[in-house]
A and B are shown apart, each in its own frame.
Chain A
């Protein structure tokens, strides 16, 4: 494996800064890989292509966190249409109304300051 000049996470974050959710694809396995890494966990190969998700997915699992202070909020696992899963949250809807099977669309959240942008989702009707 050659030296790495840019970390997988750095590439991922740069895509988010452009408003994109990036993932890797292993041509040898014919499968997506997420989170980004330096080798494919299916084959061990370092051949991984970067792709950009269309940003559509389905809620796989969901919970509502009730913090000691502050309002309850959603945490969900989203299955993106390209076949990879990530943790996120569904916004623009009460956290307890987020349902497994719900169709959702990507929105890049930009917390500002030192924090990297990250992918959140919103309900998507009829997709």
Chain B
């Protein structure tokens, strides 16, 4: 039977580069290389062991080539699929496939961005869409705001419920020393912040920071001989539903439904088995949509689900335990950080924010304007 083999590969090393506001003049490849160096240290492998190289960034047209040159590598296998913030979840599946096929043995997946230092306009080239451009949507915020308007209309979701997502993320961030945001946030604080694109205030929107990192993927067999407990790749799934928001079939149902279904099927697990849930929260509506589409609650009930601190620390479901794109870090393509946090939770390295007895973690990446969705389910040896 074809397809990826559950547990054939593992993430063995993870690291962030410098985050937040990085030193003046740092390039995106400098940040990728920092991540690579730290992730190699994390697992005890060396640069000469790396024969698979994957990267994505908006600031280098041929980023994997730039990274190979910088690291002095001529990798046997390269991948630079770029589908937005979920690119790195796609890379995990691609790296796993390459490892299964013997095309490479040790794959690095790297990311870097200096969007805070250089400004969003510099960091990401705007493409002209003649069917949307004239209406001056503030992208990507307005696309997600349109989705939120639809969710509010169809299911009665409220701005207070959206705000509860931001508040929970902030509470987690206050437990994460690496998080950008350091001060508490209230529902009132979210609602009264500067309006960006209704119903979103600036507190419903992800941060604009610098940052990057790297993760190392190798075969399950090799993973067992390395420094730290492997995070086995149990399931992967992807879905591409549209590119521009005017072409999204139903603004209340995302490709996370199909991506999650595929990942759960491969992992032979369901939402009830997941201990830590890392969702790409570019905007507060994302967390609600993905909780629904990934089966943690029913469609339309996501707003009620996030109320009362249910997804905050000490809540019944551990969601976005690093503080998320809303409060920890968001350099433009956040997907790699979901994987880093999922691995750390499985290893029990998360200190004050550690999820108890964490055996299965789900990282769900989102790209474009809810366009590309990719789910990676990771587990400890106990979950294998």
Contact = CB atoms under 8 A, between A and B. Distances in A.
Interface of A: 9, 35, 60-67, 72-73, 75-77, 85-89, 96, 100-101, 109, 111, 115-116, 118
Interface in B145-192: 145-150, 153
A67 B138 contact: yes
B135 A75 contact: yes
User: Which of A64, A101, A111, A115 neighbours the largest number of chain B CB atoms within 10 Å of its CB?
Assistant: A64
A67 B198 CA distance: 11
Given A35-B131, A66-B194, A116-B130, A87 B137 contact: yes
A118 B130 CA distance: 9
B246 A85 contact: yes
14 contacts: A61-B149, A63-B142, A64-B195, A64-B198, A66-B196, A66-B197, A67-B138, A73-B136, A75-B197, A85-B247, A86-B131, A86-B246, A87-B246, A96-B198
- What is the predominant secondary structure among interface residues of chain A facing chain B? strand
User: Which of A61, A85, A109 neighbours the largest number of chain B CB atoms within 10 Å of its CB?
Assistant: A61
Nearest to B146: A61
Contacts of B197: 63-66, 75
Nearest to A74: B135
Given A87-B246, A118-B134, A63 B145 contact: yes
Contact of B153 (A73, A86, A100): A100
A93 to B, nearest CB: 15
A77 B245 contact: yes
A78 to B, nearest CB: 9
Contacts of B146: 61-63, 75-77
Contacts of B196: 65-66
